[in-house]
Amino acid sequence: MGTIRDNWRVILLALVLCASLFALFSPTVGGNDTDTPGLASAGVTNLQYGLQLSGGTRIRAPLVGVTAEGVEFDGTEPPQIERDVAAGLDNATVADVIVREESQTGGTVEVTTDGVTPAQLGTALDAAGYSYEATRGGVTEATRSQTVDVLSNKINEAGLSGGTVQQITTPTGENFVLVEVPDENRQEVVDLVNERGSVRVDAYYATDDGAYEQTTVLERDDFQSIGTAEQGGEGQQPRVPVVVREDVAPTFQEEMIRSGVAQPGGSQCRYSMSPNNTDPCLLLVVDGEVVNSFGMSPGLARGMQSGDWAQDPRFVLQTQNFSGAQDVAINLRAGALPAALDIGPDGAGTSSYIAPGQGQRFRTDSLITGVIAVFAVAGVVFLRYGEVEVAVPMIVTALSEVVILLGFAAGIGYPLDLSVIAGFIAVIGTGVDDLIIIADEVMAQGDVNSRRVFQSRFRKAFWVIGAAAATTIIAMSPLAVLSLGDLQGFAIFTILGVIVGVLLTRPAYGDILRALLTR
Amino acid sequence: MVAFEVPEIDYTRYTNRQLAAVPLVILAVALLIVGGWYVATGAPVDPGVDFTGGAELRVAVDAPDGQARERIQQTFDPAPESIRSVPSDDTYILTFQTDETGVSALETQARDAGFEVQSSYTVSASFGSRTQGLALGGVAFAFLGMSVLVFLMFRTFVPSIAVVVSAFSDIVVPVALMNLLGIELTLGTVAALLMLIGYSVDSDILLNNHILRRSGGFYESTHRAMRTGVTMTLTSLSAMIVMTLVATMFGIQLLAAIGTVLVFGLATDLINTYMLNLSLLRWYKYEGVAN
């Protein structure tokens, strides 16, 4: 009994070490690796590696946009307000204005395009006769979470497995969207994220007086299902098969007949060659740009004329090339981004890309760096004490702190990055420092022959250790809460290491030393 | 095994003024350098890509060193601000301190020239200046927090201010050295400066604790505190020297930056603790308090 009571600290340390090893190596912990997004799990351990150590692309940027809050709608319907506000702004279209109702009488108005300042939005609202409380940069929470959802969809639809999109809010109140995609080329991700991805189909036809007119006939919500992109057959363009919603199909059919796209015998589109002398066309418009134009086959036109088509409203969207078809399919399925990410030369974000090979190399290289640093510490400790009984437990104790932290990281699935590794090295550094204080204090002034002498010396040593730990925690706390990019992991693990050290490993080292010295 | 002993220094041979003069002169020179830098460039230390905005590319170039640099110079428009070679794997780290040309364009230039892009990193100018504000605020907060904590722990002015002054010097001297050696302020070096606050205070607290709160004569307490404190600092110092060398060889910039600044800081800390802090404590012990 007595031994257990005297050595409870060592026993506790052993238990925690076992738990950490279990978290690190047990296949039952973190077993659903494949489902964990954004991270690569590796090898025999349950450790997960962040982008720096596994390769991939990370983009971190705020959303483009300005918001007016507390706008009084005066009974006007949101679509009308969107048109009114867009009319008052030079470089915004109706699609860039989002009106959200928050109460019976009012809500927010956002403009999500580059180059509109809060002041300009205010002027536009004033001009249109809407009163508002305040305008500011940034978008609303609803827009942010919608953007995050759409981006996640887009990344999944594009087949970028393991990608994650999340919203981060800094303690200073700024909001960022963080996109992480493993193993993918930066440019592909940027392209995917950069596209707003609004897809629509317009009819293009000559009116009675000979002038051409363009009206939107299908939008994303009008589709019931969207097929996968197909390579075109002989002489045909790549395409995305779609099914138009039943309730929209009759209107679309009518519209096709009225505009002449579904004229008897079909239509031949020459929009790209001579837009002023062509049969009626359908235009595929992505982000406001016409990406393709096509007519209608005689067969389909016949179906529309007879009204049979609306019973089975299948349709194809044709594109110039296969990658275009894929983009259209992705954008239609994922939806359009309500607001774009502010990246690019004059944006406000950061992006980084690490080649997978480089990430792997960093992993082994940083491991080697850490091990060599431990050897350096061990060397000095051996040189200084020359006693194996003091030095070996010291190194083992310091290393056990790292094992516990690694187990913790594996247990909660915290991705290891270079900054976390730096944190581990810092922990070994402060850990050994404290163990030196304990050893010197305990062994000072002659032999430790009684428990009481040991206890009082140990307690004295602990005052310094506690004070040093408190200062380290204070010094690191800004980094842990401020989202200063990569350094959060460093600070979190240094602080955790200090806490684990003071509460667990360093007292246990005291017990070990006592057992070895008071025999 | 040969155990090394921390030598016992005969402090009685030096006056407090003599002891304090060395670290104070070093601090004054460091402050001059940092201040001069501020006047000349508008910043106390050259900010790196993290804070100014810009791009960083790591490319593998299949050519001997001399030619590789030349090819890199010819390839990129604008030319990179700095080119660093990584000894372990024939790659080069290029920094572009402008974000006018997007990193995508730079990547394309690299690929067109047949370089393999290992990693790329870009920060926009506005994001960078925001980060800089946060980082400076963080260092200031950490330093203030540490100071308050030290005053709470010792509850007397002179010993507390001794710790705070030497911690201040432990930060300013490495910053001055960074200027002299052309090391830019990055997130890694900011982390190292914060870590220095934690590390450097350890040995000061230890010294104060031994002298103020323990029985025994001043010189005896000092020697005991030094035996422990110097061992601690030397252990950390050796670990950091090794880490810096290895990380530089592998081109792991974050670890190399942390290591370098900590090496400077820990070396400064040896001087500050056992000359500046010690002389202030001796003055306090023999003259400051009325016996």
Per-residue pLDDT of B215-248, as tens digits, reads: 778 888 898 889 889 988 988 898 889 889 998 8
Contact list, A57 vs chain B (CB under 8 Å): none
User: Hey, what are B198's tokens?
Assistant: 């934690």
Q: Suggest the residue from A57, A177, A350, A360 to mutate for an interface test with chain B (most B CBs closer than 10 A).
A: A350
Average pLDDT over every residue of B198-203: 85
CB distance A27 to A41 below 8 Å: no
CATH of the domain at A218: 3.30.1360
**Do B138 and A419 count as a contact with CB atoms less than 8 A apart?**
no
Residue A308 to residues A302, A318, A471, Cα–Cα distance (Å): 9, 22, 79
Terminal-residue alpha carbon distance, chain B: 46
CB distance A418 to B255 below 8 Å: yes
Sheet holding A66-72, edge to edge: A97-101, A106-111, A66-72, A134-137
Query: Any CB–CB contact under 8 A between A186 and chain B?
Result: yes
* Domain interval for residue B259: 11-45+134-288
CATH of the domain at A404: 1.20.1640.10
pLDDT exceeds cutoff 60 at B108: yes
Q: Are B184 and B252 members of one domain?
A: yes
Each residue's pLDDT expressed in tens, for chain A with a length of 519 residues:
567 777 788 888 889 999 999 888 877 665 444 444 444 445 677 888 888 888 888 888 888 888 988 888 888 888 788 888 888 888 777 778 888 888 878 888 888 888 888 888 888 888 888 888 888 888 888 888 888 888 888 888 777 777 888 888 776 777 888 888 877 677 778 777 777 777 888 888 888 777 888 888 888 778 888 888 888 777 778 888 888 888 888 888 888 888 888 888 888 888 888 888 888 888 888 877 888 888 888 888 888 888 888 888 888 888 888 888 888 888 887 777 888 888 766 677 788 888 888 888 888 888 888 888 888 888 888 888 888 878 888 888 888 988 999 999 888 888 888 888 888 888 888 888 888 888 888 777 656 667 777 777 788 888 888 988 999 898 888 888 876 667 788 888 999 999 999 999 988 988 888 888 765
**By CA distance, what is A388's nearest residue in B?**
B1
Q: Are A249 and A306 members of one domain?
A: yes
Q: Are B229 and B115 members of one domain?
A: no
Question: Residue A60 falls within a domain, yes or no?
Answer: no
Q: Parallel, antiparallel, or unpaired: how do β-strands B91-96 and A350-354 relate?
A: unpaired
Q: Are B188 and B61 members of one domain?
A: no
Q: Which residues does A500 contact at the CB level (< 8 Å), separation at least 6?
A: A401, A404, A405
**By CA distance, what is B232's nearest residue in A?**
A433
Which of A351, A357, A432 shows the shortest C-beta gap to B122? A351
Radius of gyration of chain B (CA): 23
Residue whose token pair is 């992705």: A330
Alpha helices in A68-117 (DSSP H): 78-87
To the nearest whole Å, the CA of B164 is away from the closest chain A CA by 12
Q: Are B104 and B203 members of one domain?
A: no
Half-sphere exposure of A503 toward its Cβ, with a 13 Å CA cutoff?
9
Cα distance between residue A504 and residue A9, in whole Å:
7
Coil, strand or helix at A512: helix
**Do A355 and B117 count as a contact with CB atoms less than 8 A apart?**
yes
Contact list, A380 vs chain B (CB under 8 Å): 231, 234-235, 238
pLDDT over 90 for what percent of chain B?
Answer: 26
Q: Are A167 and A204 members of one domain?
A: no
CB burial of B67-93 (b: ≥16 within 10 Å; e: otherwise) equals ebbebbeebbeeebbebeebeebebbb
What pLDDT sits at residue B100?
64
Q: Are A390 and A498 members of one domain?
A: yes
Question: Residue A334 falls within a domain, yes or no?
Answer: no
Q: Are A76 and A182 members of one domain?
A: no
Cα distance between residue A134 and residue B16, in whole Å:
62
Q: Are B31 and B151 members of one domain?
A: yes
Other CB atoms within 10 Å distance of the CB of residue A405: 23
Question: Residue A364 falls within a domain, yes or no?
Answer: yes
Q: State CA B67 to chain mean position distance.
A: 34
Q: Are A261 and A343 members of one domain?
A: no
Range 274-303 of A in CB contact (< 8 A) with B: none
* Residue A293 one-letter amino acid: S
What pLDDT sits at residue A519?
59
Give the A:B interface size as CB pairs under 8 Å.
236
Strands (E), A27-123: 40-41, 48-49, 56-61, 66-72, 97-101, 106-111
CB distance A85 to A110 below 8 Å: no
Residue B196 to residues A201, A247, A495, B263, Cα–Cα distance (Å): 62, 69, 14, 10
Cα distance between residue B81 and residue A179, in whole Å:
28
Percent composition of chain A: helix, strand, coil (DSSP 3-state, to 5): 50, 20, 30
Cis geometry, peptide bond prior to residue B78 (ω within 30 degrees of 0): yes
Q: Are B142 and B250 members of one domain?
A: yes
* Dihedral sign (CA A213, A219, A224, A227): positive
Q: Output the DSSP codes for chain B.
A: -PPP-PPPP-GGGS-HHHHHHHHHHHHHHHHHHHHHHHHHHSSSS-B-HHHH-EEEEEEE--S-HHHHHHHHHHH-SSPPSEEEEETTTTEEEEEE---SS-HHHHHHHHHHTT-EEEEEEEE-HHHHHHHHHHHHHHHHHHHHHHHHHHHHHH-SHHHHHHHHHHHHHHHHHHHHHHHHHTPPB-HHHHHHHHHHHHHHHHHHHHHHHHHHHSSS-HHHHHHHHHHHHHHHHHHHHHHHHHHHHHHHHHT-HHHHHHHHHHHHHHHHHHHIIIIIIHHHHHHIIIIIS--
**By CA distance, what is B253's nearest residue in A?**
A418
Considering A430-434, B76-80, B81-85, the range whose residues carry the highest mean pLDDT is A430-434
Q: Are B249 and B106 members of one domain?
A: no
- Among A188, A352, A56, A185, smallest CA distance to B54 is for A352
Q: Are A24 and A114 members of one domain?
A: no
**Do B235 and A422 count as a contact with CB atoms less than 8 A apart?**
no
* Residue B252 one-letter amino acid: I
Identify the H or E element spanning A226: strand A223-226
- Among B204, B192, B193, smallest CA distance to B276 is for B204
Farthest CA pair distance, chain A: 111
- Among A371, A183, A378, A489, smallest CA distance to B250 is for A371
Q: Are A400 and A482 members of one domain?
A: yes
* Domain interval for residue A41: 2-55+355-517
Q: Which of residues B73, B103, B123 is at a domain's end?
A: B123
The rounded mean pLDDT for chain B is 85
CATH of the domain at B225: 1.20.1640.10
Question: Residue B173 falls within a domain, yes or no?
Answer: yes
Residue A384 to residues A377, B6, B130, B241, Cα–Cα distance (Å): 11, 9, 46, 18
Q: Suggest the residue from B206, B224, B237, B248 to mutate for an interface test with chain A (most A CBs closer than 10 A).
A: B206
Pick left, alpha or beta for residue B77 (phi over 0 → left; psi -120 to 50 → alpha; otherwise beta).
Answer: beta
pLDDT exceeds cutoff 70 at B70: yes
User: Hey, what are B86's tokens?
Assistant: 């990584």
- Total domain count, chain B: 2
Q: Are B41 and B58 members of one domain?
A: no
What pLDDT sits at residue B198?
83
Q: Output the DSSP codes for A139-201.
A: --HHHHHHHHHHHHHHHHHTT-TT-EEEEEE-TTS-EEEEEEEET--HHHHHHHHH----EEE
Coil, strand or helix at A208: coil
Coil, strand or helix at A339: coil
Coil, strand or helix at A62: coil
- Total domain count, chain A: 4
DSSP 8-state class, residue A361: H
Q: Which residues does B66 contact at the CB level (< 8 Å), separation at least 6?
A: none
- Residue range B38-62, pLDDT digits in tens: 999 888 888 888 888 888 888 888 7
Q: Suggest the residue from A471, A488, A506 to mutate for an interface test with chain B (most B CBs closer than 10 A).
A: A471
DSSP 8-state class, residue A307: T
- Among A407, A489, A359, smallest CA distance to A47 is for A407
Radius of gyration of chain A (CA): 33
Q: Are B170 and B93 members of one domain?
A: no
Q: Are A213 and A186 members of one domain?
A: no
DSSP 8-state class, residue A56: E
Which backbone phi and psi does A62 adopt, to 5 degrees? -75, 170
Q: Are A235 and A310 members of one domain?
A: yes
Q: Are A308 and A347 members of one domain?
A: no
Question: Residue B3 falls within a domain, yes or no?
Answer: no
To the nearest whole Å, the CA of A437 is away from the closest chain B CA by 6
Q: Output the DSSP codes for A385-452.
A: H--HHHHHHHHHHHHHHHHHHHHHHHHHTPPB-HHHHHHHHHHHHHHHHHHHHHHHHHHSSS---SHH
Q: Parallel, antiparallel, or unpaired: how do β-strands A66-72 and A48-49 relate?
A: unpaired
Cα distance between residue B264 and residue B281, in whole Å:
24
Cα distance between residue A23 and residue A412, in whole Å:
9
Q: Are A192 and A249 members of one domain?
A: no
**Do B149 and A477 count as a contact with CB atoms less than 8 A apart?**
no
**Do B130 and A174 count as a contact with CB atoms less than 8 A apart?**
yes
